[in-house]
Amino acid sequence: MDISRYIKNIFEIKSENDFNHLLLQAINYQLKNNSVYKEYYKTVNHTQFIYQNNKLPLFLPIRFFKSKKVITGTGKIEKTFESSGTTNTIKSKHFVSNLSTYNLSLKNSFELFFGKPSEYTYLALLPGYIERDNASLIYMLKTLMNCSNSQHNGFYNNDFELLKNRILELENSVEKYMIWGVSHALIKFSETYKLNINKGIIVETGGMKGIGKELIRESLHEKIKHAFGVCNVYSEYGMTELLSQAYSKGNGLYKCPPWMKVFVREPNDPFSISSTGSGALNIIDLANINSCCFIETEDLATIHPDGSFEIKGRFDYSELRGCNMMIE
């Protein structure tokens, strides 16, 4: 397969037929060139899966990124992203041999939802991430900042007063700006300062896990909206193991770019998959061609008929089904 042509084509998807044509290419390419995916395919009852889920790939459990080197092909690793976690937690690693594709994916996806990245100033409130050079979220924000070259771009960590002053300055300017923040930092900032944000967009990226009392999304967003006088809190859905992002422009309803699709499966039956309804989340990310395009996550979700989806929580496996022999 001509990878350069494939990558060009995924960002030009216009129809379901376009997606399905490239999906078939991705399945065949990864079965031939991804040893982990190939081994998993042989291990499970793939005949049953194909019979029950015509035209869908087999989805790789996300836990493999903690114990295996999930790569497709033999390209040189340009960047290794690593998930967050405590000292005793085994962290996922995403070996990226195509940073140019990652950049194209995040820029094209951003433009679909917000317009050109060059038109914004980015204020990042990401304590816990900025300290990690291998966090994909930090790489993403740095890439967006490099697109705009605004003199006001920056990471603010716990310097709330400086962030407050920057917001007030931007509110009195003609610049469009975005505040990207992890949940616990946005809450803490909102409890310290009450501001009327009229021009800025607030993008919440998750991140309450293990830090204080975890709030459900509705309560979290209501607190932020009340503190800053905004009508909507936006959200970004991404993960270390993916190359693409989905976005919500309010009400916790995420939408995918054209090269990304979501499905739900029965938590105890990985072969029972649907494009609508509630269950554990599966993702096709055609941009992730040099890693794995087909990921079985541990998030719980509801997918609506229009393809938008909501994250409802996490599924904790008491018993890993279908792939025990491959987990180390």
Predicted confidence at residue 219, as pLDDT, reads 80
Predicted confidence at residue 212, as pLDDT, reads 46
Predicted confidence at residue 131, as pLDDT, reads 72
Predicted confidence at residue 210, as pLDDT, reads 43
Nearest of 294, 298, 269 to residue 284 by alpha carbon: 294
Distance set, CA 319 to CA 60, 122, 279, 295, 327 (Å): 16, 42, 17, 18, 12
Predicted confidence at residue 207, as pLDDT, reads 62
Predicted confidence at residue 110, as pLDDT, reads 97
Predicted confidence at residue 324, as pLDDT, reads 35
Q: Which residues of the chain have pLDDT under 50?
A: 87, 208-213, 318-328
Nearest of 308, 167, 189, 294 to residue 237 by alpha carbon: 308
- Residue range 11-25, pLDDT digits in tens: 999 999 999 999 999
Predicted confidence at residue 64, as pLDDT, reads 95
Number of separate helices (H) and strands (E) present in the chain: 10, 15
Predicted confidence at residue 50, as pLDDT, reads 56
Nearest of 243, 267, 255, 232 to residue 305 by alpha carbon: 255
Predicted confidence at residue 226, as pLDDT, reads 87
Predicted confidence at residue 322, as pLDDT, reads 35
